[in-house]
Amino acid sequence: MAHAHAQALTILADAFMNFHAKRIADLALGNRFPAIYGFREFPEAGGLASYGASLREEQRLAARYIDKIFKGAKPSDLPVQQPTKFELVINLRTAKALGLTISPAVLAIADEVIE
C-alpha cells in the first residue's frame, strides 16, 4: 500500500480480518493509513473508526434462533434476518496520532467515541 501511495484503507468485515484486528490496526497506524473497518473491535484495538453491524446484536439474534430450534422449530421455517443495528465507533487517540480532526457533527452521531 505504501509503494502504491495509498492514502487510506478500508477493511471489510469478516471473521479472518476480525481475528487479526489488533495486528491490522497496528499496521495501518504504523504506516499512517487512516482506516475504516466493519466491526467495532478494530477501533477498540487501536484502529481509527468502524461502521457496521453489531456483532453482539447478531450473536443475540443467533441465540434466539438456537432457542427456537431447541424448542422444536425447523431451521428451514425460520426467516432470514438482516442486521438491524449498525454502530459507528471512532477512536480519537488514533485520529490524533494520525493528525486528523473529526468533526463535532460526526462525533455527535457516533455510537461510541474512544478517547
Please state, as a whole number, how many other Cβ atoms lie within 10 Å of the Cβ of residue 35.
22
pLDDT at position 41, please?
87
Sequence-ordered alpha helix ranges (H) in 4-113: 15-19, 21-30, 41-44, 55-70, 92-97, 104-109
Does 23 map to a domain? yes
Tell me the CATH number at 94.
3.40.50.2300
Model pLDDT for residues 43-77, shown as the tens digit of each residue: 999 999 999 988 888 888 889 999 999 999 999 99
- State how many domains the chain has: 1
Does 13 map to a domain? yes
CB-CB contact of 102 with 108 (8 Å) = no
- Tell me: pLDDT of 7 over 90: no
Range of the domain at 42: 9-54+85-114
69-88 residues labelled b (16+ CB within 10 A) or e (exposed): eeeeeeeeeeeeeeeeeebb
Q: Are strands 86-91 and 49-53 parallel, antiparallel or unpaired?
A: antiparallel
Does 72 map to a domain? no
Q: Is the pTM of this model over 0.85?
A: no
